[in-house]
Chain A
Amino acid sequence: MSSLWPRIEPLLARVEKPARYIGMERGAQTPVHRPQNVSWLLVYPDTYEIGLPNQGLQILYEILNERVDAAAERAYAPWIDLEVELRARGLPLFSVDTHRAAADFDVIAFNLSAELVFTNVLNLVDLAGVPVRNEDRNATHPIVLAGGHCAFNPEPLAGYVDAFVIGEGEEVVGEITEVVGAWPRAGRVDREALLHELATIPGVYVPAMYDVDYDGAFIREVRPRYADVPERVDKRTVADLGEWPYPKNQLVPLVEVVHDRLNVEVFRGCTRGCRFCQAGMITRPVRERPEEQVRTMVREGLRRTGYDEVALTSLSTADFSGIDRVVADLVTDQEGTGGVSLSLPSLRVDAFTVGLASEIQKVRRTGLTFAPEAGTWRMRQVINKLITEDDLYAAVDAAYSQGWRRVKLYFLTGLPTEVDEDTIGIADLAKHVVDIGKQYSKQASCTVSVGGFVPKPHTPFQWFGQNGVQELRRKIGLLRDATKGTRAQVKWHDAQATYAEGIASRGDRRIGRVIERVWRAGGMFQEWSEHFDLARWLDAMAAEGLDPDWYVTRHRHHDEILPWDHITAGLHKDFLWNDWQASLQAHGLPDCRWTPCYDCGVCTDYALEHVVASPVAPAGGSQGTGQDLSAGGSAPVRFLGRVGTGS
């Protein structure tokens, strides 16, 4: 239980960025470890700079430390230089708060926000001194837990992680604490009994409690091993975000990290229904934070952290009902204080958004980013990102005319039904955007960022056969040729990494051994291009006798049991299938907040409702509805009269 600091500190002079390992952030908790407390090590399986800002991890860190029966610390993946030093001396993974050994904790909980971190998860369990495969662990070992978006297909890690949390963790971490806390008192001998009990907590999936039968390459059946273990694990959802104003003490790191600013989450969920977007599908329904709470969290957060930037985060921040009022108030609040800047990531594409942006950014208008995602209207109907060319050009015109010089556009390629005309369409849009810019400035430029599409579980595209490496490269080549000699600059994501992500994202239990082989072959930090090598993945697939194309580029059938069918985000499989069929017909589906319910299943099955602060669509919010509802119209949602308008 003692601190490893005296043994770790002498190593820090030899490694890059030693401050990654010291903790000491403003907002860091002082965990009190008592024998009767359940101790949690919350691990982000990538570098400190990537992991520290993760809001999910910070929220659970606070909630657990507020409990009298729990204590939580944090750890991040040590960079390769420190890991070599640690392993050379037999030192384990440690927490950054009090530098305790990872294996001294009762629970080691991983945040899974991307599939390519899976090999790091195995590596960190191993570095902790805990057996990598869950079947090799005994009563002396910590429980290895995982949560986050990638837990919605837990099967690739089913042989490695003891239990997964599906959905939002605010409430369930307390329930897990109680079960784990009762375990030592029961003699701490029967690990199976503990796992069995964890499996009865709603939202907790324990893979060892389920048997999977195959029929050739296909799954025949996934069967719970006990009568009290649910056949399907439903996600957890916090009904009212207003009851969870976390993080209350956002961590302020001493070194620069990504998203290095105050982050205030304004809502969860998204009902725009973009068919490629797993986050939008699995976090339904929309739950807005009360406007007044947003103001308070911003005001107090800035005071406490000393940050001079705040971001209002969500999947589509311009859709927040009170966005224009909140922005106006924040801008007024901050006048004359030496400049606090406000950023709104994930903005939708329209002139209203640019209006908001210009309200915020009075000076230094350099770059503005939009995500039309696809190059033609037909393609955007397929993916249900219902932005018209007029929407985009109006937004871009507004941006350039108000002084922005650089516009960045995000696109996906390798989408269902995509033909070369759609790919070239990206170039056409970009060229037109540059032309608009030239009317306002000689320096106007446009960057096009293209990612290869990876179909994700629990989305309408979960049946779609992903484009292979050659096909994605061909399309990127087409796009580069089509933009040659223009002021549109194309950047793209490595098609090989996209392919490996495809293996992991829709993998089944058999992919676990592939991940283990990739890790054992040295494949860590797979999100980092300098450490990624597709050959390791293909070799591992071959060694396991698995066909990578069967997992990646194959279209799935209607009747096929998908590896994650026993996990649910509340979306009916029929709804997803019908939406998939509609997409193939290029039928768009407007935002369900402002149109009749499509019965996706989430609200009805979970007795939840969209929680919004206003009964009408947000100002200027025509996008995704096909009609301007901002002047009125009724919303098929429960309207919480939180802003004094009554319901």
Chain B
Amino acid sequence: MKGGALFPVRLRYTKRGKVRWISHRDVARAFERALRIEQLPLAFTEGFSPRPKVSFGLALPTGYESDAEYLDLELVSEVDLDTLPAAISDALPSGIDVIGASALDERAPALMDVVTSTEWVVTVVASDGSPLARGALTSTVDDALQMPVLDTTRHRKGREVVEDVRPVISRIDVHRDVEGNDTSCTMELRTQPRSAKPGDVLAAIASATAISGGLAEAGVLRTHQWIERDGARLEPHCADTRPRVLVARDLNKGTPDVRRDHDTGTLAGVAHAAGGTGPEQGN
């Protein structure tokens, strides 16, 4: 951060619906165009080919949805953070909505380095797409989590690599529908020192337990990213952000939606995404 004073901002955004089929790189390009359309006072890198100073968090695999994506950007002058989310969202493809903007500490570490785990809701079916039997996922997950090693085969740079995903799993909670069938699970997966996709974890569980009919993801939604620090868990829009007074509007309803972060005492400018799980504070 050289030059004059900069105003770093952290944005939280969603990736929902059809747009989930675009890649992380495509999302980055869509943001670059949206920031230019909105003519934000962007800070640029030095050199022959100046790029806006935007840094993204962990990549979301293509095809997965999310209510908890983050990016940091640097501005050369202050902007109204209340109106910023709606303005940028207007210029983004439908399904990518900025749902929060917070002023960031100037020396905030990069998102990639500080996020320690991610939380997912995974809709699970059998390999042929049929629903799972009552209790099938619960017992399979219980069995799998007893195992010291959960190997899965991944394709990496054209080679097949066997990786143990057991160290990545922080917790898995199985959910049932009203009729008692196992339909989905919440996974919290560590990102440090390395991470795994929910699909890889599911494949490892299916293969280790040899569950008949197999397991397949029928929909994956990232609900949270967590920064574990001094025993507390924070969503990135509450970590390393500067205290400020603000009332974030619910983007869809236009009603005030003030949320107090109990850990930091600051108010986080976050609003709900349509149909998404609302942002929550970690405890």
Contact = CB atoms under 8 A, between A and B. Distances in A.
Contacts of A12: 21, 63
How many of chain A's residues touch chain B, expressed as a range?
Answer: 20 to 34
A18 B63 contact: yes
Contact of B37 (A254, A255, A306, A364): A306
Interface in B200-232: none
B62 A338 contact: no
A18 to B, nearest CB: 4
A317 B26 CA distance: 31
Contact of A364 (B32, B48, B52): B48
Contacts of A255: 22-23, 26
Contacts of B26: 19, 254-256
A362 to B, nearest CB: 10
Interface string B2-30: 00000000000000001101110010011
A305 B52 contact: no
A23 B29 CA distance: 16
B21 A18 contact: yes
Contacts of A364: 48-49
Interface residues of B, number: 27
Interface in B20-73: 21-23, 26, 29-30, 32-37, 42, 44, 48-50, 52, 62-63
B135 interface: no
A254 B36 contact: no
Contact of A22 (B19, B32, B35, B44): B19
A391 interface: no
Question: Which residue among B21, B49, B52, B91 has the maximum number of chain A CB atoms within 10 Å of its CB?
Answer: B21
A24 interface: yes
Contacts of B93: 24, 26, 254
A26 B96 CA distance: 13
A485 interface: no
Instruction: Determine which residue in A10, A256, A306, A338 has the highest number of CB atoms from chain B within 10 A of its CB, and name it.
Output: A306
Among B18, B37, B93, B129, chain A packs the most CB atoms within 10 A around the CB of B18
B33 A307 contact: yes
Contact of A339 (B18, B29, B50): B50
Interface in A1-25: 5, 9-10, 12-13, 18-19, 21-24
B264 interface: no
Given A252-B33, A254-B93, A338-B50, A18 B62 contact: yes
A363 interface: yes
B4 to A, nearest CB: 15
Contacts of A339: 44, 49-50
A47 to B, nearest CB: 16
B22 to A, nearest CB: 4
| Residue of B52, B62, B94, B129 contacting most chain A CB atoms (<10 Å) | B62
B185 to A, nearest CB: 19
A85 interface: no
Interface in A345-378: 363-364
Contacts of B36: 306-308, 338
A339 B50 CA distance: 8
Contacts of A254: 19, 22, 26, 29-30, 93
A545 B9 CA distance: 71
Given A24-B93, A24-B94, A305 B33 contact: yes
Give the most central of B29, B52, B91: most A CB within 10 Å: B29
A35 to B, nearest CB: 27
A141 B19 CA distance: 33
A19 B23 contact: yes
A361 B34 CA distance: 24
Contacts of B21: 12, 18-19, 21-22
The residue among A24, A255, A305 with the most chain B CB atoms within 10 A of its own CB is A24
Contacts of A22: 18-19, 21-22
A304 interface: yes
A26 to B, nearest CB: 7
Nearest to A340: B36
A33 to B, nearest CB: 19
Contact of B42 (A9, A303, A338): A338
Interface string A22-54: 111010000000000000000000000000000
Q: Chain B interface secondary structure, helix, strand, loop or mixed? A: mixed
Interface in A248-307: 252, 254-256, 303-307
Nearest to B43: A338
Nearest to A303: B37
A303 B129 CA distance: 45
B54 to A, nearest CB: 12
B52 A13 contact: no
Nearest to B63: A13
Contacts of B37: 303-306
Given A26-B93, A254-B93, A306 B19 contact: no
A24 B33 contact: no
A254 B91 CA distance: 12
A306 B22 contact: no
Interface string A190-202: 0000000000000
Contacts of B95: 24
A602 B136 CA distance: 76
B25 to A, nearest CB: 8
A19 B91 CA distance: 18
Contacts of B32: 306, 308
B91 A306 contact: yes
A19 B22 CA distance: 5
Nearest to B35: A306
A255 B26 CA distance: 6
A116 B279 CA distance: 53
Interface in B85-123: 91, 93-95
A252 B92 CA distance: 11
Given A18-B63, A305-B33, A363 B52 contact: no
A23 B93 CA distance: 10
Nearest to B62: A18
Contacts of A5: 18
B92 to A, nearest CB: 9
A529 B41 CA distance: 45
B81 to A, nearest CB: 21
B200 to A, nearest CB: 14
A252 B42 CA distance: 21
B226 to A, nearest CB: 27
B39 to A, nearest CB: 8
Contacts of B48: 363-364
A5 B20 CA distance: 14
A21 B49 CA distance: 32
A339 to B, nearest CB: 6
Contacts of A18: 21, 62-63
A363 B34 CA distance: 25
A144 to B, nearest CB: 29
Interface in A205-256: 252, 254-256
A110 to B, nearest CB: 26
A364 B47 CA distance: 10
Nearest to A307: B33
B18 A24 contact: yes
Nearest to B41: A338
A624 to B, nearest CB: 35
Contacts of B49: 339, 363-364
A60 to B, nearest CB: 23
Contacts of A306: 32-37, 91
A5 B23 CA distance: 19
Given A254-B19, A339-B44, 7 more contacts: A12-B63, A24-B94, A24-B95, A254-B26, A306-B32, A306-B35, A363-B49
The 5 closest A-B pairs by CB, nearest first: A306-B33, A18-B21, A306-B37, A306-B36, A19-B22
25 contacts: A9-B18, A12-B21, A12-B63, A19-B22, A19-B23, A19-B62, A21-B21, A22-B21, A24-B19, A254-B22, A254-B29, A254-B93, A255-B23, A305-B37, A306-B32, A306-B35, A306-B36, A306-B37, A307-B33, A307-B36, A338-B44, A363-B48, A363-B49, A364-B48, A364-B49
